[in-house]
Structures are given as structure tokens and as C-alpha cells.
């Protein structure tokens, strides 16, 4: 286990990130609305994206995965490579293949893996557990098609950010319990691990205003997703953790989800799961999706994805 990076709550927000936060818009007079919120996220992550921040990969190809739109990002290496199934964040309501395109590009480039990004069904049109069902089916599809994807033998790894990290680790729990293939490794970036609204994590109060993810937005996401909060399929911290694949867990210092992500990492370690933990104190929730990557963001991505590459390399060696 590797300890947290930084871990000083007094570290201020990175200046470039702070400037982007000043430009980010709240819900406006009409309150939260799915279509307006989705458009807002696309404007921030796609329309405003700096070309200099975009990572190059060998190829990006469209796919259909169990009827879901998907993309595979291929690294420069053309030999058999690890396969990673990726689920985007956005509170189970926002986000799509485009908003997290650069995240997947960085993940592909820094890990040397083929990354399959999947557009699962979103709330409120499709509330819980539709996204979970889609995620489990996507991992099973990737496991069946690993040869066609150019992957190394063995089950794929899973990765995601925020709500997508929730789906990634839930698929790992389902697989470990025999309900699907058990992923080889998991990368959980600022994960949602506890959907109980009354869970007493201090970071929810400390960082619940003034950042890209707010307490009000979290309540709205829950109202759209309508999870059974006491179900491990919604709150994986309540699930069976023994026997899960090794994990990299990434948290940000100025994030309302910081404490539950770190509690989940500690619970995994307590259950005997190998865990690499990184906390980046100057960054906020959603930093890996920002349109302009500060040096601090870029270094954090290299560090976190480099740790994940280590897990993929070890699991690939074991598969051979």
C-alpha cells in the first residue's frame, strides 16, 4: 500500500483550477434540469477544451457494446495490451463519451491499455439500477471480446471517475460474488462510495459549496438516480470487499467526496485488498475533466495512471 500524496488540508486550490471554478456556472434561476446541466458540462469539457491539453493516442474507434454506444482508445503499442472498461462520471445524470474523451485519452496513453469507454443509461430517464446493469453487461462483453479488442488474456480491468468509479467498483463486487467476470484491477478516481445522505463525512460539509461538485448538486443527483442507498449496488462501502481486485483510489483535497473515497480505500485495505492511495490536496472534484490542465492536474494524472499501469502490468504477467 502506498500512502496518500500530500494529505495537508491547508493546501489552497491550484491557481489554474481556481480560475476555472470562477467561470463555472451554477444551476441558474430554473434550478437543476438534466438537459441544461448536461449542456453545461459539455460546454466546460468539450467546447472550452484546450487543444494543448488533449492527449494523443494511436486510434479512437466507435463500438457498440450490448446496444450501448462506446469507444475504444488504442495505445501506440500494437501488440496485445491490457484492456480497461471505463465508466464516465456525472452523478449518474450528466456526462457522455465526449465529456470524458480526454480523460480516456490520458488513461490510454499513460497506461498503454486499450480503454473501452461505455455510455451507460443515465438518470432520471433510467434510474437505479439501470446504470449498474449496463456496467455489469459491459464488463462481461469486454471479457468475451478481449481477443478482438487486442487485449492480453484474462478479464479486463475497470476504471471510472465519480459516479463512474461507483459503477466500476460495483462491477468488481458483482464479479467477485460470481455475478460476472471478476475484473483484474480497478481505478477509482474521486469515487462515490456511500449514497446514504445522512452519512457523516466531514468533507461533505467543508467542501459542499464553491466547487464544481456541491452539496446541492449531490442531493439533486440522488433524487434523479433514486438509489436504494443501503444497497451495496449503490453504496459499495456497504458491500463485501474481501476478494476484490487490487485498486488505485484517487481523492482530491477540496472535494466533498474526499472522505468517503478515503474511507473506502481504508475498508478495502482492511479486507486484505491491495490498495494504492493518492490524495492530491490542491485539486478539486472533476479536475481530470477540466478543459485546461494545470501542471498540477497533469502531474496528478501521470501519477495516478502510472500507479494503475503498475497494477495492469502485474495482472497481465499473472495472466500469461
Active site residues: 162, 255, 285
Residues 6 or more apart whose CB falls under 8 angstroms from that of 307 comprise: 2, 248, 276, 278
Is residue 63 classed as helix, strand or coil in its secondary structure?
strand
For helices 15-23 and 295-319, angle between their N-to-C axes, nearest 10 degrees = 100
Residue 50 CB burial class (10 angstroms; 0-12, 13-18, ≥19) = exposed
Phi then psi for residue 221, to 5 deg, are: -55, -45
CB 117 within 8 A of CB 129: no
Closest-CA residue to 90 (of 230, 208, 192): 192
Name the strand (E) or helix (H) holding 296. Answer: helix 295-319
The helix (run of H) or strand (run of E) holding residue 106 is helix 101-111
Q: Where are the beta strands (DSSP E) in 154-274?
A: 157-161, 186-189, 247-254
For 98-148, give the DSSP string: TTTHHHHHHHHHHHT-EEEEE----TTTS-TTHHHHHHHHHHHHHHHTTTT
Closest listed residue to residue 248, CA positions, set 282, 224, 273, 217: 273
Amino acid at each position: 500500500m502506498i500512502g496518500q500524496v500530500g494529505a495537508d488540508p491547508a493546501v489552497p486550490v491550484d491557481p489554474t483550477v481556481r480560475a476555472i471554478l470562477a467561470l463555472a456556472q451554477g444551476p441558474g434561476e430554473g434550478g437543476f434540469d438534466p438537459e441544461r446541466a448536461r449542456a453545461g458540462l459539455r460546454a466546460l469539457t468539450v467546447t472550452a477544451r484546450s487543444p494543448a491539453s488533449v492527449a494523443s493516442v494511436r486510434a479512437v474507434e466507435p463500438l457498440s457494446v450490448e446496444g450501448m454506444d462506446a469507444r475504444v482508445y488504442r495505445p501506440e503499442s500494437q501488440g496485445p495490451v491490457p484492456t480497461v472498461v471505463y465508466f464516465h462520471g456525472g452523478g449518474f445524470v450528466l456526462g457522455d463519451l465526449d465529456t470524458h474523451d480526454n480523460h480516456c485519452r490520458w488513461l490510454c496513453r499513460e497506461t498503454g491499455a486499450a480503454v473501452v469507454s461505455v455510455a451507460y443509461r443515465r438518470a432520471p430517464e433510467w434510474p437505479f439500477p439501470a446504470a449498474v446493469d449496463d456496467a455489469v453487461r459491459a464488463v462481461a462483453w469486454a471479457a468475451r471480446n478481449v481477443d478482438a479488442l487486442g487485449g492480453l488474456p484474462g478479464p479486463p480491468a475497470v476504471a471510472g471517475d465519480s459516479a463512474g468509479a461507483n459503477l466500476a467498483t460495483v462491477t468488481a463486487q458483482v464479479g467477485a460474488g460470481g455475478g460476472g467476470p471478476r475484473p483484474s484491477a480497478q481505478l477509482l478516481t474521486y469515487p462515490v462510495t456511500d449514497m446514504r445522505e445522512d452519512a457523516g463525512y466531514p468533507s461533505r460539509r467543508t467542501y459542499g459549496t464553491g466547487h464544481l461538485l456541491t452539496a446541492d448538486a449531490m442531493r439533486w443527483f440522488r433524487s434523479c438516480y433514486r438509489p436504494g442507498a443501503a444497497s451495496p449496488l449503490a453504496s459499495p462501502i456497504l458491500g463485501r470487499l474481501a476478494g476484490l481486485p487490487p485498486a488505485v483510489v484517487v481523492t482530491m483535497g477540496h472535494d466533498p467526496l474526499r472522505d468517503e473515497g478515503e474511507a473506502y480505500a481504508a475498508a478495502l485495505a482492511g479486507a486484505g485488498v491491495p490498495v494504492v492511495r493518492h490524495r492530491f490536496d490542491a485539486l478539486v472534484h472533476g479536475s481530470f475533466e477540466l478543459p485546461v490542465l494545470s501542471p498540477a492536474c497533469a502531474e496528478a494524472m501521470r501519477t495516478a495512471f502510472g500507479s494503475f499501469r503498475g497494477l495492469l502490468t502485474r495482472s497481465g504477467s499473472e495472466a500469461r
